[in-house]
């Protein structure tokens, strides 16, 4: 791993952030041996043993590989401050997530284009999804098989997951063998970003195989502090590394891939954003761009949990027997991604796309896995995937090493709360289905005391948490709050693009890792002047 960048070297591109998008960009841009790239990452190499072990992902929370963010007190959630994990390591959040591969609904991307972003319809972005994929089921109309990112079927499926599938069918929900094909609706097993039973992050898939390239410099533990402008053109990046300040120039472009929290924060620190906000922190406004940090969207969820009367859950996944099995075969309970199955559902029949996603896990999962229970358990996670509520990322100070303030503003739109109440009801119905009769014990949460809609609402306000999908804080478009155009170029600034989940105009209806990788694939072609067909 490179430990220093040559301040006198000529880098055509500087990429800030080696997460789900940054790793893809670095790999694609350095395919041209004449293109020199510097990739800066605030975290370090992915050395934690738990990163590779699928079932251990929550053990990475609040460790050295996590930014360990928290929101401001949320007014609609009993003024609770919510924990937001984000990956601070090569691979970013793709190194600490639950590995679920979901693209979102086709309509999500058609809506992006209709919002003034030509080239972002589903038919336009599908080639980029396929380009990344090494699909275990082979190539098809919707999938690619020649890409670097392994998309696999689960190597371990718990018996309780089978009960979830049967219980969903009892509720009249249709089976869906592929959530990333013609339709999202229905229930089924998730596919995951795993290779041979091990996590396959964007570092594993894209960056690690090209670290030998002489035109790629990767600098870890390098925290970007400012993008320098000259006459509204980005030309250099300042960063802290080894306790010292450094500055390196980019002769072509600066590419910001810090994610939905760090990307707007760095723009603000660089004098790009709402002028009045910047002045409050003593930052000279260099370019007034009111939308930086605004339009924050996320997917909230709650946990609906039951005691399991049989010892078949993942509670003992890390036993010596299971650990040995995993080391030898990369199979067994430790190969589980925990959220093994799920469904997409429309809480109202006239909706154009599902507004509810459900995760099922054969384990007690509450408070991000920090809470424990002495008995075997199973649980459901109903998730709002089409939020109407929007929040913001704002500075706390002009200190580039201080975390920004996160105001998620969950449930400021009453419809959002209604969807999760319906989600709790659906998960309960599945939990009380005949399929779960051999396993079902006490309902732990919400519990018997929450029966009316008002009581379920109170439960949701007290228990809701993030499903780790913040997006949209540097949104793409041409309206007054848009930050980048359809080429991902920052409005009014030359040689500066944002490439990550923050550019989504609306958050996709599902897990956000796959669309973030797609965004980077498309961005690489936009930067190089290529097209998907080429």
pLDDT digits (tens, 9 = 90+) for 505-532: 999 999 999 999 999 999 999 999 986 5
Specify the DSSP class assigned to residue 175.
B
- CA dist 63 and 84 (Å) reads 13
Is residue 313 within 8 Å of residue 160, measured between CB atoms?
yes
pLDDT at position 533? 45
DSSP β-ladder status, 133-135 and 465-466:
unpaired
In CATH, what class is 1-150+198-290+474-528? alpha beta
Three-state SS at 191: coil
H or E stretch including 160?
A: helix 159-170
Claim: this prediction has a pTM higher than 0.75: yes
- CA dist 118 and 317 (Å) reads 47
Specify the DSSP class assigned to residue 494.
B
Catalytic annotation, residues: 469
pLDDT digits (tens, 9 = 90+) for 225-240: 999 999 999 999 999 9
pLDDT at position 534? 39
Three-state SS at 462: helix
Domain boundaries, the chain: 1-150+198-290+474-528, 155-189+300-384+411-463
Is residue 92 within 8 Å of residue 17, measured between CB atoms?
yes
pLDDT at position 5? 62
DSSP β-ladder status, 244-256 and 304-308:
unpaired
pLDDT at position 210? 98
Can you give the length of the chain in residues?
534
- CATH for the stretch 155-189+300-384+411-463: 3.30.410.40
- CA dist 59 and 370 (Å) reads 9
* Nearest to 19, CA basis, from 225, 201, 159, 281: 201
- CA dist 182 and 14 (Å) reads 38
pLDDT at position 287? 97
Interhelix angle 106-114/122-132, rounded to 10 degrees, is: 130
pLDDT at position 129? 98
Low pLDDT (below 50) residues in the chain: 3, 533-534
Three-state SS at 393: strand
What would the DSSP string read from start to end of 202-214?
HIIIIIGGGTT-T
């Amino acid at each position: 791993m490179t430990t220093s960048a040559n301040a006198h070297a000529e880098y055509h591109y500087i990429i800030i952030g080696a997460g789900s998008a940054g790793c893809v960009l670095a790999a694609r841009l350095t395919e041209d041996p004449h293109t020199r790239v510097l990739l800066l990452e605030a975290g370090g190499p992915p050395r934690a043993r738990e990163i590779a072990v699928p079932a251990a992902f929550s053990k990475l929370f609040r460790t050295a590989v996590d930014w360990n963010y928290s929101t401001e007190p949320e007014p609609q959630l009993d003024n609770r401050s919510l924990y937001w994990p984000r990956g601070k390591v090569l691979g970013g959040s793709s190194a600490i997530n639950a590995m679920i591969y979901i693209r979102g609904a086709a309509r999500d991307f058609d809506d992006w284009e209709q919002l003034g972003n030509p080239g972002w319809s589903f038919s336009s972005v599908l080639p980029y999804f396929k380009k990344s994929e090494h699909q275990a089921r082979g190539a098809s109309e919707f999938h690619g098989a020649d890409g670097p990112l392994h998309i696999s079927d689960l190597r371990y499926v718990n018996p309780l997951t089978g009960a979830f599938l049967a219980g969903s069918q009892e509720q009249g929900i249709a089976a869906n063998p592929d959530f990333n094909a013609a339709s999202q609706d229905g229930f089924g097993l998730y596919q995951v970003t795993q290779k041979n039973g091990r996590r396959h992050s964007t570092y594993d898939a894209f960056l690690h195989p090209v670290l030998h390239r002489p035109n790629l410099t990767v600098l870890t533990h390098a925290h970007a502090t400012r993008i320098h402008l000259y006459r509204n053109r980005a030309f250099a990046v300042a960063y802290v590394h080894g306790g010292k300040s450094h500055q390196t120039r980019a002769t072509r472009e600066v590419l910001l891939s810090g994610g939905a929290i760090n990307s707007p924060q760095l723009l603000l620190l660089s004098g790009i954003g709402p002028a009045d906000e910047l002045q409050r922190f003593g930052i000279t406004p260099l370019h007034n761009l009111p939308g930086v940090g605004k339009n924050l969207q996320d997917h909230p969820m709650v946990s609906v949990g039951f005691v399991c009367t049989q010892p078949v859950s993942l509670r003992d996944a890390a036993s010596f027997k299971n650990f040995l099995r995993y080391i030898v075969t990369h199979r067994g309970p430790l190969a589980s991604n925990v959220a093994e199955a799920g469904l997409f559902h429309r809480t109202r029949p006239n909706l154009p796309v599902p507004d509810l996603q459900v995760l099922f896990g054969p384990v007690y999962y509450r408070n991000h896995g920090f809470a424990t229970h002495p008995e075997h358990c199973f649980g459901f996670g109903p998730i709002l995937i089409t939020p109407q509520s929007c929040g913001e990322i704002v500075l706390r100070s002009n200190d580039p090493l201080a975390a920004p303030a996160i105001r998620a503003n969950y449930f400021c739109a009453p419809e959002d709360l209604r969807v999760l109440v319906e989600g709790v009801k659906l998960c309960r119905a599945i939990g009380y289905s005949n399929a779960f009769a051999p396993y079902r014990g006490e309902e732990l949460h919400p519990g018997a005391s929450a029966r009316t809609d008002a009581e379920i609402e109170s439960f949701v306000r007290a228990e809701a948490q993030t499903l780790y999908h913040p997006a949209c804080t540097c949104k793409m478009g041409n309206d007054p709050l848009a930050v980048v155009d359809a080429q991902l170029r920052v409005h009014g600034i030359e040689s500066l693009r944002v490439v990550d989940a923050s550019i989504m105009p609306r958050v996709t209806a599902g897990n956000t890792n796959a669309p973030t990788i797609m965004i980077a694939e498309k961005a690489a072609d936009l930067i190089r002047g290529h097209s998907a067909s080429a």
